[in-house]
Amino acid sequence: MTRPCSICGSRDAVYYQSFSGDYLCIACLRKRLIKYVRKAFSKYEFSIPPGASIILLITPAQTPIRHAVEEIFAAAERPFTTKITTSLMKPGRDIVEAQREAVEEATKNGYRLVMLSTTLEERLLELLTTLMRRHSLDPSCRGLYRHGDTTVFKPFSFTSLQDLYAYAAATGKLSHTPRTPYLYEQLLAAAWGGPELAYSYRRVLRRLLEDEP
Ligand SMILES: [Zn+2]
C-alpha cells in the first residue's frame, strides 16, 4: 500500500517520520535533511570561509550510509563552495573516543576546519557517555568547539540518524558493512520502535542543546 507524501502530495511516501507525523517522499525527505544541516550552521552562527579546505569525519554508526551523509552535507554546504575531503572514523572504545582520535588525526594532517557528522541521537549518546565517564561535560560535547588551532563543528546536530538511514535506504545508498555496537546506540535503536519515546528523547536532547553555552 502506498501513501502520498504529506508535504508535496504528489509523490509516493517512502518514510514515516514519527517525530513530525509526516509521510515523506524521497525529494521532501532530502529537502528536510538539508534544512536540518543548514539549521545547525545558523544555530551555531558558524560559516565556512569560501574556498576553505575541510574534512568531514563520518561517525562509526554512519559507515553504511556514508554516501548519503556526504551527499546531504555537500548539498547543504554548496553556497560555501568548499573543498571537502571525507574520512571514516575508526570505531574506538566509544563515540567520544572515536571522535577525539579522529579530530586529533585530522589536526595532525593539517586540517583546521573539521566537521564531525555526529547526529542528534549520537550527540545524546556522546553526552551520556561523557557524563558516565567523567561526571562533567567537556567542550567536545558541544556543537562547535576549538581543539588547539582547529575549529570542530557538528553540522548534523539537528539531523536524526534514523532519517539519514531512511534516506540512504530509499535512494539505494545503504551499504552493508558491520556496525559498531555501542550500548546506547542499541538502546536508541530500540526506542525508534515507539514514536512517543522517539519524540521524547529528541525533545530532551533539543532542550540540552538549547541550554548549551
Ligand atoms: Zn514530497
Residue pLDDT, tens place only, 163-208: 898 898 888 887 765 554 444 444 455 444 444 444 455 555 565 5
Cα of 48 to ligand 1 centre, how many Å? 30
Residue 59, in any domain of the structure: yes
Mean of the pLDDT values across residues 94-122? Answer: 94
Cα of 59 to ligand 1 centre, how many Å? 28
First to last CA, the chain: 47
Residue 148 has a pLDDT of 92
Cα of 64 to ligand 1 centre, how many Å? 25
Cα of 79 to ligand 1 centre, how many Å? 24
Name the burial class of residue 164, with classes exposed (0-12), middle (13-18) and buried (19+) by CB atoms within 10 angstroms of its CB: buried
Cα of 3 to ligand 1 centre, how many Å? 11
pLDDT tens string 64-83: 889 999 999 999 987 666 78
Confidence of residue 105 (pLDDT cuts 50, 70, 90): very high
CATH for 67: 3.40.50
Residue 107, in any domain of the structure: yes
Residue 145, in any domain of the structure: yes
Q: Which domain holds residue 80?
A: 37-165+181-210
- For residue 36, what are the CA distances in angstroms to 10, 33, 69, 124, 134? 23, 5, 12, 17, 30
Cα of 169 to ligand 1 centre, how many Å? 16
Residue 101, in any domain of the structure: yes
Mean of the pLDDT values across residues 26-36? Answer: 97
Domain count, the chain: 1
Residue 52, in any domain of the structure: yes
Is the Cβ–Cβ distance between 14 and 168 less than 8 Å? no
pTM of the complete model beyond 0.75 = yes
Confidence of residue 114 (pLDDT cuts 50, 70, 90): very high
Cα of 176 to ligand 1 centre, how many Å? 27
Cα of 74 to ligand 1 centre, how many Å? 21
Residue 29, in any domain of the structure: no
Residue 19 has a pLDDT of 79
Residue 171, in any domain of the structure: no
Residue 4, in any domain of the structure: no
